[in-house]
Amino acid sequence: MIAVVAAGAVLAIAATRTPAPTPVPIAAAPAPAAAGPDCARLLAELPDTLGDYRRAVAAEPVPPGTAAWQAEPGGEPVILRCGLDRPLDFVIGAPLQLVDAVQWFRVTDPSGTITTWFAVDRPVYVALTLPTGSGPTPIQEISRAIEKTLPAVALQPGPPR
């Protein structure tokens, strides 16, 4: 009888433990300014939560200038990349959106499952990739961190195509 109770207690404790989160893979992208001081300041200011998303561990090798958040283990992550090249489609006349004093250029993935927003009015380009349905909070929180750490600069879009 005691063995049955002990086994039941062990099973109950094991059932309440959350498994260790799986590290989030972040694909490498050309980011010549990722290791610079602007990205270091931004990364130090990033919040631990973005609404329902919590800071996640990135899988090795972690590209410089990156961070990730997940709403649930195994769920689609929010990915931040700092120090990227200017987005190819960011040209004169491209539509922009202002979020908390940061100008963003939006690129929607053809699959329709993710959208990448590029902060284009700072000394370095910052990309925030969001899964569909993530809501406005992640981009608002990141905009606040960008506003605190990176001064606004004049836009430098590419020539029209």
Q: What is the pLDDT of residue 18?
A: 52
In the block, residue with structure tokens 């980011």: 31
CA angle (28 as vertex; 69, 155 as ends), nearest 5: 80
Q: Please check whether residue 39 is in contact with residue 46, taking contact to mean a CB–CB distance below 8 angstroms.
A: no
Q: What are phi and psi of 116, to 5 degrees?
A: -110, 130
Structural domains of the chain ordered from first start: 42-149 (3.40.1000)
Name residues of the chain where pLDDT drops below 70: 1-20
Q: What is the largest CA-CA distance in the chain?
A: 79
Give the pLDDT score at 161.
82
Is 118:127 a contact under the CB 8 Å cutoff?
Answer: yes
Residue with tokens 């039941």: 8
Residue 27, token pair as written in the block: 């694909």
